[in-house]
């Protein structure tokens, strides 16, 4: 069987009628939800556990295990679908929302029955206006048919879905910030524990799952958890949807087996790098994930495989001082949000690094000092290196700022800025050092050499 023969979510991508309930149902849609409302909730959860489904929102946490954290005696449980997708380079969820909204709705009905949820929410990034309209229209169709609301499909289960539009803050994708935002408050992350599964929306147990995670549920209920696990590899079941952008001939959204390596993804799936250029670096899962070099691409772009490179366990942050890349996690990188960014050998890696840390500095919620101050400093130092104003010691300074942020913040946005910085510095240190060596100090009146603290690199003005 070839790579492209099995599809779970993407089969009808690009078919305009696929958004319509009639079409979806003709292709077998809502069969699983009908089946689920007649099942015991525990039986559905058992299939999800057996499926080895892992969360597609970033961390790859096993979905069945997350569900099991909901207290058994909870009077009210909420389901929240995270459709905030804002990580640069990541655009797979919006594709699902636009092309296959009914599969998400069907997955939500299944999850709601399994978790005994009456009210479910979709938190969608505000800028996704087109996706919002498609999604809301699909929900309206489902209500009109009696597939949502009181007694869905005439069963004893009742499920309501409400769509909430965010206002475009990246941090609102972090699950606790998302819940605060949904409650009408400021999108600020909360300390965990307690985890949302125990204390979430309005203090009640809440399962927050990614769009792709939930959209896999109809297939799992139809074919069984075991079949889903068998499609996957190791501890990860199913297929995976990735978005690919950057220097490839065929960027786009692809649903692929988890065994596909980075090189196969770039060369075979996406047609290779244009203009005969070579690959310099590939970010495997949204720009918060550490970059891989060309030499590291022959590894499956799958949760465990990407974390298992034993070669680099630590990075040197200051001469003689090492930073351990994480308890037990040999890291190098993670599958993250599924957003693959490919950079060819003409890419200025120092500028790419600056662009990335600048994004996180802009999006920091400012609640904790290491992140608020640290990301700002990262952006500033990275900027002066990238644009020709680097000073002696700046490369080590950058590493030590990143070191000061990683692991010291309320939420993972701090790590999201620190990890890629450390990876860029470890893998492309020569380029950063060359940039500093070749920096052009600005000569000011009186003959003093002066490099601006935060030169804009365009005017070179001091």
Ligand X SMILES: Cc1cc2nc3c(=O)[nH]c(=O)nc-3n(C[C@H](O)[C@H](O)[C@H](O)COP(=O)(O)O)c2cc1C
The site for ligand X (CB under 6 A) is made up of 55-59, 61, 66, 82, 84-86, 171, 173-175, 208-210, 213, 411-413, 416
Can you tell me which residue has the tokens 């559905």? 44
Asked if 293 interacts with ligand SF4 (CB under 6 A), we say no
Q: Which of 70-78, 89-97, 295-303, 404-412 is the region at the interface with ligand SF4 (rule: CB under 6 A)?
A: 404-412
Among 201, 317, 361, 368, binds ligand SF4 (CB under 6 A): 368
Closest separation in Å from C-beta 276 to ligand SF4: 41
Under a CB-based contact definition with an 8 Å cutoff, are residues 106 and 138 in contact? no
Half-sphere exposure of 447 (CA within 13 A, CB side): 0
How many angstroms separate the CA atoms of 291 and 166, rounded? 29
Cβ-based nearer residue to ligand X, 82 or 350? 82
Partner touching 414 among ligand X, ligand SF4, none, CB below 5 to 8 Å by kind: ligand SF4
Look at strands 239-246 and 339-344 and give their pairing: parallel
Nearest residue to 286 (alpha-carbon basis) of 173, 130, 400: 173
Cβ-based nearer residue to ligand SF4, 119 or 367? 367
How many angstroms separate the CA atoms of 84 and 2, rounded? 33
Asked if 35 interacts with ligand SF4 (CB under 6 A), we say no
Closest separation in Å from C-beta 286 to ligand X: 8
Task: Looking at residues 148 to 207 of the shown chain, list those that interact with ligand SF4 (rule: CB under 6 A).
Answer: 171, 189
Which residues are paired to 80 by β-bridges? 121, 208
Cβ-based nearer residue to ligand X, 108 or 279? 108
Cβ-based nearer residue to ligand X, 109 or 411? 411
Contacts 24+ apart (CB under 8 A), 190-198: 190/410, 191/410, 195/69, 196/80, 197/66, 197/67, 197/69, 197/70, 198/69, 198/70, 198/71
Closest separation in Å from C-beta 359 to ligand SF4: 12
Closest separation in Å from C-beta 190 to ligand X: 11
67, 100, 123, 420 from 163: Cα distances, Å: 22, 16, 6, 33
Under a CB-based contact definition with an 8 Å cutoff, are residues 407 and 415 in contact? yes
Partner touching 85 among ligand X, ligand SF4, none, CB below 5 to 8 Å by kind: ligand X
Partner touching 372 among ligand X, ligand SF4, none, CB below 5 to 8 Å by kind: ligand SF4
How many angstroms separate the CA atoms of 24 and 137, rounded? 14
Asked if 367 interacts with ligand SF4 (CB under 6 A), we say yes
Partner touching 356 among ligand X, ligand SF4, none, CB below 5 to 8 Å by kind: none
Q: Which of 192-200, 262-270, 358-366, 419-427 is the region at the interface with ligand SF4 (rule: CB under 6 A)?
A: 358-366
Under a CB-based contact definition with an 8 Å cutoff, are residues 69 and 197 in contact? yes
Helix (H/G/I), strand (E/B), else coil: 43: helix
Partner touching 367 among ligand X, ligand SF4, none, CB below 5 to 8 Å by kind: ligand SF4
Asked if 402 interacts with ligand SF4 (CB under 6 A), we say no
57, 257, 286 from 329: Cα distances, Å: 19, 23, 19
The helix (H) or strand (E) run that includes residue 80 is: strand 78-83
Cβ-based nearer residue to ligand SF4, 183 or 430? 183
Query: What residues make contact with ligand SF4 under the rule CB under 6 A?
Result: 171, 189, 364-368, 371-372, 409-411, 413-414
């Amino acid at each position: 069987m070839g790579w492209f023969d099995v599809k779970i979510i993407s089969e009808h991508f690009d078919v305009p009628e696929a958004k319509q309930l009639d079409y979806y149902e003709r292709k077998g849609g809502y069969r699983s939800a009908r089946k689920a409302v007649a099942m015991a909730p525990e039986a559905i959860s058992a299939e999800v556990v057996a499926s080895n489904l892992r969360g597609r929102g970033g961390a790859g946490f096993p979905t069945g295990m997350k569900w099991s954290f909901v207290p058994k005696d909870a009077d009210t449980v909420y389901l929240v679908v995270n459709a905030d997708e804002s990580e640069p380079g990541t655009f797979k969820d919006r594709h699902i929302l636009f092309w296959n909204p009914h599969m998400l709705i069907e997955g939500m009905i299944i999850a709601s029955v399994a978790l005994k949820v009456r009210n479910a929410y979709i938190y969608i990034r505000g800028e996704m206006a087109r996706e919002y309209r498609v999604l809301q229209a699909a929900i309206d169709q489902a209500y009109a048919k009696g597939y949502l609301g009181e007694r869905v499909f005439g069963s004893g289960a009742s499920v309501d879905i409400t769509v909430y539009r965010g206002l475009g803050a990246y941090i609102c994708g972090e699950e606790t910030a998302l819940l605060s935002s949904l409650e009408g408050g400021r999108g600020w992350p909360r300390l965990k524990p307690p985890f949302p599964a125990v204390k979430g929306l309005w203090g009640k147990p809440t399962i927050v799952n990614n769009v792709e995670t939930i959209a896999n549920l109809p297939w799992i209920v139809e074919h069984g958890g075991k079949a889903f696990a068998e499609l996957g590899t190791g501890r990860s079941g199913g297929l995976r949807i990735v978005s690919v952008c950057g220097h490839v001939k065929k960027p786009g959204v692809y649903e692929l087996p988890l065994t596909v390596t980075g090189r196969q993804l770039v060369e075979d799936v996406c047609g290779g790098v244009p203009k005969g250029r070579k690959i310099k670096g590939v970010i495997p899962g949204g720009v918060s994930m550490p970059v891989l070099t060309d030499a590291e691409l022959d590894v499956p772009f799958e949760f465990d495989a990407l974390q298992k490179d034993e070669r680099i366990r630590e990075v040197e942050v200051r001469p003689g001082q090492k930073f351990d890349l994480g308890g037990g996690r040999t890291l190098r990188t993670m599958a993250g949000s599924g957003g693959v960014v490919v950079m060819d050998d003409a890419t200025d890696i120092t500028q790419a690094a600056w662009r990335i840390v600048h994004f996180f500095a802009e999006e920091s919620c400012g609640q904790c000092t290491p992140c608020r101050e640290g990301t700002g400093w990262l952006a500033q130092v990275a900027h002066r290196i990238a644009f020709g104003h680097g000073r002696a010691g700046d490369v080590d300074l950058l590493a030590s700022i990143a070191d000061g942020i990683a692991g010291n913040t309320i939420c993972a946005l701090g790590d999201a800025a620190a990890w890629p910085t450390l990876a860029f510095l470890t893998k492309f240190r020569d380029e950063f050092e060359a940039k500093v060596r070749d920096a052009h100090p600005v000569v000011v009146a009186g003959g003093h050499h002066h490099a601006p603290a935060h030169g804009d690199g365009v005017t070179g003005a001091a």
